[in-house]
Amino acid sequence: MIFFKVFFLIKLTQKKKLKLNEHFFKILKKNKKLNYSKLQSGLEMWSFKMSDFFKVATDLFQKNMYTYLESKPKFNRISKY
């Protein structure tokens, strides 16, 4: 039972992390910088230039540094300054 719980939690966190990258790839696809190929065996492959991904990611992070997070973190105020 413990194995199942750990496995289930790992699966949930993996899916959650994958979804966080979607907006980067949507922009690459919109700009026609994302290449797609399907082999006869059914294997699907996606490719892109790392420089294109870096440009998209840096632009998004410059606009909003919390772009990779689901929501903006809550900060506790430490002092009145």
13-70 tens-digit pLDDT: 545 554 667 888 899 999 999 999 999 999 999 899 999 999 998 998 888 887 777 7
5-23 tens-digit pLDDT: 444 445 545 455 546 678 8
Locate the domains of the chain by residue range.
Answer: 20-72
CB 38 within 8 A of CB 45: yes
**C-alpha angle 44/11/50, rounded to 5°?**
45
CB 52 within 8 A of CB 33: yes
Amino acid at 15: K
pTM of the complete model: 0.59
CB 12 within 8 A of CB 25: no
CA nearest neighbour of 34 among 43, 44, 73, 42: 44
